[in-house]
């Protein structure tokens, strides 16, 4: 229980305010009895989460109270003995109250000015009981269905009736009403406003069933928010709403709407209405206009000058032309789905325009040279667009979407800060230029273009590059020397889109990664070179060998032959061929001067290696794994001065190695290690006997010593003179602790 008192003096006459909160079901009612003795108690807040007897409460509320707030009031009405003659504010959140007084009693609270019921069971209310009420707030009282208003309710200024069941509301007796909120009154079909409501400032009326609304008697209206009103077909405002600054109406059935003279209107939202015409000439200082989804709107009449307009949305309208020369401060323009739109006039200088969206229009030309600060440009589905002029310097352009246009050339060299570029379905595009240093460019998506070359320049933050159906593109990517490309090939016996094509086709899954460096990009995913998602082998070979700065290449899957011109990969250091159907390697592989690592794994169809393989002077590691048909290792590998690691597991057809292979530096030692390792792996596991005399003590000593080492310990060595039992001890310790280790291994090396 929490008890907070203000101006406390022995809990009696001098106490003016109490906050009492408790969830204890054994709360002592005697504490409440003390309230009756507090003659000067003015403010009382109760939050008691348990039931009381009704007759207990009647004597606990002193008549001197001016403000009573009772959370979860447990009764259906106020007690009769509660005079409440001085009560000014009554707040009853989450209460069970159904009516103010029980038994039809009509006790008038003349001093009450503020009344609130929230989440309560209230069904009806008579404002005649509160003649001086100024603010009435009834929220989420879902059973509330009747509000009785006397002929004159002259003091009421604010009325909030949210989420009620009211069907009709007559406010003609409230001439001085200033604020009315009827949000969520889904059943409301009839609303009567006073003929003259001169102080009326704000109306919120979401989700009602009103068909007509007449506000011509409210010349001082400032805010009109009708939200979603599907049934509204007629709306009237005063011919001169000089103070009106905001209108928001959605999904109304309005055919016409006369705004009159509204010089201070700043925001007008009439989305998804049935308007056919709209006269906006009386809104000279409008800042935001949204007419999204007004499918029937043809030609709105706009002022010659809209000097403050910042945002204009005219999506899905029947608009044919738009002149922006009177909107010098426009920042956002959206014309999505304006299928009849053919002409846009932009002033010589439109310095504030940041976002321009013109989807599915019939524009043929677009001159944006007067928009140097444009950041977003979307021209998706503008099938007739054949000419586009971008500013020479468009330093703030971040996103460009230009799908399905007829453009032949596009010059973006003046946009160094571009982040996203999408050109899908631009089948006539033959020339594309981007800035030589697009440091922020992250995504490029081009489909169906006729590009032959595409210089990406310096794009260190590029994360996605999609080049689909670019049949003529031969060189599209220039990558850093620390890059890696991994392709997984899936053989397509018959392409579903080319049923008559007998050529071998493949679908490739591509992964392209780069280590970060001073001049290297960060391209993480590459999807490219599509013939309907399948790729011809010859085109694939040309594309791969065009990556002249590639350092690591992995080809995996049913590829029948290796790319022919591998020598074009001048910087290649690592080459992996995994599970391919390659039968031989091209001679061009011998010209890879920087190749250090070559691995052929499960290339079961490989029969021969190039005789000049020894020309790979920088090769350090050569792994031929499970190449089951490979019979011969060329003698030239003995000329590899840097080769020190040579592995041949599973190459069962090889009968002998070159005779002079022992001349390789360090090769003999490594080969012996590999042979020992291979033989050891095939031997049965032998557990050391830990029961030898003195061995158990030594094992326990070693194991206990290991507990003092950090977890990242990677190697343990036992050294000493021969014959001292080191090997036996090592095996015994290993057998005891191996289950607790991850990736454990025991190596024994004995020297004479």
Q: Are β-strands 17-22 and 2-6 bridged in parallel, bridged antiparallel, or unpaired?
A: antiparallel
H or E stretch including 270? strand 267-271
Amino acid 535: pLDDT: 52
Neighbours of 278 (CB within 10 A): 24
Is 38 within 8 Å of 15 (Cβ atoms)? Answer: yes
- Average pLDDT score over residue span 625-629: 91
Is 239 within 8 Å of 218 (Cβ atoms)? Answer: no
Amino acid 308: pLDDT: 95
Vertex 293: Cα angle to 292 and 299 (nearest 5): 80
- Average pLDDT score over residue span 509-532: 41
Amino acid 482: pLDDT: 41
How would residue 716 be classed by pLDDT, with cut points 50, 70 and 90?
A: low
Phi, psi of 736 (to 5 degrees): -80, -35
Is 576 within 8 Å of 603 (Cβ atoms)? Answer: no
* Higher per-residue confidence, 432 vs 557: 432
Determine the Cα–Cα distance for residues 308 and 303; give it in Å rounded to an integer. Answer: 12
Determine the Cα–Cα distance for residues 115 and 111; give it in Å rounded to an integer. Answer: 11
Amino acid 740: pLDDT: 64
Determine the Cα–Cα distance for residues 666 and 671; give it in Å rounded to an integer. Answer: 9
Nearest Cα to Cα of residue 446 among 527, 355, 534, 390: 527
Amino acid 10: pLDDT: 45
Q: Residue 652 pLDDT > 50, yes or no? A: yes
How would residue 13 be classed by pLDDT, with cut points 50, 70 and 90?
A: low
Q: Which of 43-47, 334-338, 434-438, 518-522 comes out lowest in average pLDDT?
A: 518-522
Taking CA atoms, 151 is separated from 125, 188, 191, 697, in Å, by 15, 21, 16, 105
Determine the Cα–Cα distance for residues 422 and 427; give it in Å rounded to an integer. Answer: 13
- Max mean pLDDT among 422-431, 505-514, 573-582 falls in 422-431
Place of tokens 């009450």: 112
Q: Residue 363 pLDDT > 70, yes or no? A: yes
Give this prediction's pTM: 0.65
Place of tokens 């590999």: 674
Q: Which of 298-307, 353-362, 375-384 comes out lowest in average pLDDT?
A: 298-307
Place of tokens 């090396």: 749
Q: Which of 42-56, 287-301, 606-620 comes out lowest in average pLDDT?
A: 42-56
- State pLDDT tens for residues 252-283: 999 999 999 999 999 999 999 999 999 999 99
Q: Residue 342 pLDDT > 70, yes or no? A: yes
Phi, psi of 193 (to 5 degrees): -100, 145
Amino acid 143: pLDDT: 93
How would residue 723 be classed by pLDDT, with cut points 50, 70 and 90?
A: low
- State pLDDT tens for residues 388-421: 999 989 999 999 999 999 999 999 999 999 999 9
Q: Residue 160 pLDDT > 90, yes or no? A: yes
| CA-based torsion, 159, 163, 166, 168: positive or negative | positive
- Average pLDDT score over residue span 57-66: 74
- Max mean pLDDT among 147-161, 496-510, 521-535 falls in 147-161
Amino acid 293: pLDDT: 94
Residue 680 exposed, middle or buried by CB count within 10 Å (0-12, 13-18, 19+) = exposed
Share of the chain above pLDDT 90, in %: 49
Residue 127 tokens, joined: 């404002």
Determine the Cα–Cα distance for residues 104 and 323; give it in Å rounded to an integer. Answer: 66
Place of tokens 């250091």: 573
Is 389 within 8 Å of 366 (Cβ atoms)? Answer: yes
Phi, psi of 655 (to 5 degrees): -95, -35
- Max mean pLDDT among 382-386, 491-495, 558-562 falls in 382-386
Determine the Cα–Cα distance for residues 736 and 405; give it in Å rounded to an integer. Answer: 72
Q: What is the DSSP string of 629-658?
A: T-----GGGGG-TT--EEE-TT-TT-----
Is 155 within 8 Å of 177 (Cβ atoms)? Answer: no
Phi, psi of 660 (to 5 degrees): -95, 20
Q: What angle do the packed helices 726-737 and 695-706 form, to 10 degrees?
A: 60
- State pLDDT tens for residues 608-617: 999 999 999 8
Amino acid 720: pLDDT: 57
- Mean pLDDT score across all residues of the chain: 81
* Higher per-residue confidence, 578 vs 743: 578
Q: Residue 712 pLDDT > 60, yes or no? A: no
């Amino acid at each position: 229980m929490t008890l907070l008192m203000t101006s406390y003096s022995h809990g009696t006459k001098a106490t003016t305010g109490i906050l009492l909160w408790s969830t204890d079901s054994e709360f002592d009612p005697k504490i409440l009895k003390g309230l009756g003795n507090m003659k000067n108690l003015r403010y009382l807040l109760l939050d008691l989460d348990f039931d009381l007897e009704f007759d207990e409460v009647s004597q606990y509320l002193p008549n001197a109270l001016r403000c009573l707030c009772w959370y979860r009031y447990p009764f259906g009405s106020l007690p009769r003995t509660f005079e409440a003659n001085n009560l000014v504010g009554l707040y009853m959140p989450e209460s069970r109250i159904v009516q103010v007084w029980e038994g039809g009693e009509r006790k008038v609270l003349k001093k009450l000015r503020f009344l609130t019921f929230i989440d309560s069971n209230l069904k009806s209310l008579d404002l005649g009981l509160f003649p001086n009420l100024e603010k009435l707030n009834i929220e989420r009282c879902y059973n509330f269905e009747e509000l009785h208003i006397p002929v004159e309710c002259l003091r009421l200024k604010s009325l909030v009736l949210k989420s009620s069941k009211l069907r009709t509301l007559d406010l003609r007796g409230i001439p001085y009403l200033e604020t009315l909120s009827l949000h969520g009154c889904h059943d409301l079909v009839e609303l009567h406003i006073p003929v003259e409501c001169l102080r009326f400032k704000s109306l919120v009326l979401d989700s009602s069933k009103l068909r007509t609304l007449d506000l011509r008697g409210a010349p001082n209206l400032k805010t009109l928010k009708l939200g979603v009103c599907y049934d509204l077909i007629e709306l009237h405002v005063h011919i001169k709403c000089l103070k009106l600054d905001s209108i928001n109406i959605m999904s109304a059935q309005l055919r016409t709407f006369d705004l009159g003279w509204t010089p201070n209107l700043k925001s007008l939202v009439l989305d998804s209405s049935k308007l056919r015409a709209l006269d906006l000439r009386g809104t000279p200082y409008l800042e935001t206009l949204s007419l999204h989804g007004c499918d029937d709107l043809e030609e709105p009449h706009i002022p010659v000058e809209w000097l403050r307009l910042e945002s204009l949305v005219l999506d899905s309208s029947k608009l044919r032309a738009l002149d922006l020369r009177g909107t010098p401060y426009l920042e956002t323009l959206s014309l999505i789905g304006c299928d009849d739109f053919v002409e846009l006039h932009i002033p010589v200088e439109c310095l504030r325009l940041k976002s321009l969206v013109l989807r599915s229009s019939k524009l043929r030309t677009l001159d944006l040279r007067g928009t140097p600060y444009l950041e977003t440009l979307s021209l998706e589905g503008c099938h007739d667009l054949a000419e586009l002029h971008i500013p020479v310097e468009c330093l703030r352009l971040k996103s460009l979407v230009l799908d399905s246009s007829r453009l032949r050339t596009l010059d973006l060299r003046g946009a160094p800060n571009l982040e996203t570029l999408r050109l899908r379905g631009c089948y006539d595009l033959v020339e594309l230029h981007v800035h030589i240093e697009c440091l922020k460019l992250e995504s490029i998506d081009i489909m169906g273009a006729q590009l032959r070359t595409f210089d990406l320049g310096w794009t260190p933050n590029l994360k996605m590059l999609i080049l689909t159906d670019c049949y003529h593109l031969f060189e599209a990517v220039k990558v850093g020397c620390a890059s890696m490309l991994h392709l997984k090939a899936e053989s397509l016996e018959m392409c579903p889109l080319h049923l008559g094509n007998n050529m071998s086709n493949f679908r490739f899954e591509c992964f392209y990664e780069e280590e970060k460096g001073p001049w290297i990009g960060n391209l993480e995913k590459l999807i490219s070179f599509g013939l309907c998602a399948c790729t011809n082998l010859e085109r694939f070979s040309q594309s791969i060998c065009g990556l002249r700065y590639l350092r690591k290449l992995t080809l995996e899957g049913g590829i029948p032959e290796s790319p022919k011109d591998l020598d074009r990969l001048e910087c290649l250091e690592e080459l992996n061929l995994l599970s391919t159907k390659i039968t031989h390697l091209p001679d061009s592989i011998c010209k890879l001067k920087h190749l250090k690592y070559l691995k052929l794994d499960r290339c079961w169809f490989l029969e021969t290696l190039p005789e000049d393989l020894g020309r790979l002077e920088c090769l350090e590691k050569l792994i031929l794994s499970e190449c089951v048909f490979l019979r011969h290792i060329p003698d030239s590998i003995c000329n590899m001065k840097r080769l020190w690691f040579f592995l041949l597991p599973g190459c069962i057809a090889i009968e002998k190695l070159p005779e002079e292979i022992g001349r390789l530096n360090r090769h003999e030692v490594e080969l012996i290690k590999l042979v020992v390792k291979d033989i050891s792996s095939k031997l049965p596991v032998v557990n050391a006997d830990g029961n030898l005399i003195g061995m158990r003590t030594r094992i326990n000593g070693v194991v206990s010593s290991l507990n003092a080492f950090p977890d990242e310990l990677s190697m343990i060595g036992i050294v000493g003179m021969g014959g001292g039992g080191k090997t036996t001890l090592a095996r015994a310790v290993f057998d005891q602790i191996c289950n607790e280790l991850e990736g454990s291994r025991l190596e024994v090396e004995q020297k004479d």
